[in-house]
Amino acid sequence: MNKDSISKMITIHGVNGISLLNSENEALLSNIKDQQISEAFVFLSSVMPDLEALLAMGAVKQVMLKGAGQQNLSTFAHKKNTLCIQSDPLLSATLLGQQIRSAIG
């Protein structure tokens, strides 16, 4: 994943923030200002391997929290990193996933 693909993702209508975490859940880059959102992404990234083991369904490639709040939180596994997307609740989870996977390559 390079800066061009990250730049393409931030232009997706409804995407409000992006963070890229390494395997140690440290931010490699982020434009997310809200500390609670950043902490939620670290939590989601850290539970993805546990979900794989617990559910025994294979690799977990995406986790999304969609609530009654003003933002959705999505995480996408990519190699040893986790791409975290903060988006509008009206943005379709399916559409977002397709656009992000297309941008990741």
pLDDT tens digits, residue range 58-73?
A: 788 888 888 777 889 9
Report d(CA 88, CA 92) in Å as an integer: 9
CB contact at 8 A, 19 and 30: yes
CA dihedral 100, 1, 39, 34 (to 10 degrees): -70
Supply the range of the domain harboring residue 64.
Answer: 3-104
pLDDT (tens digit per residue) in 3-42: 778 888 889 999 999 999 999 999 999 999 999 999 999 9
pLDDT of residue 93: 85
Confidence (pLDDT) at 35: 95
Q: How many structural domains does the chain have?
A: 1
Per-residue pLDDT at 87:
94
Q: Is the pLDDT of residue 88 over 90?
A: yes
Q: What CA–CA distance (Å, rounded) separates 35 from 103? A: 26
**pLDDT, position 73:** 94
What is the CATH number for 82? 3.30.450.30
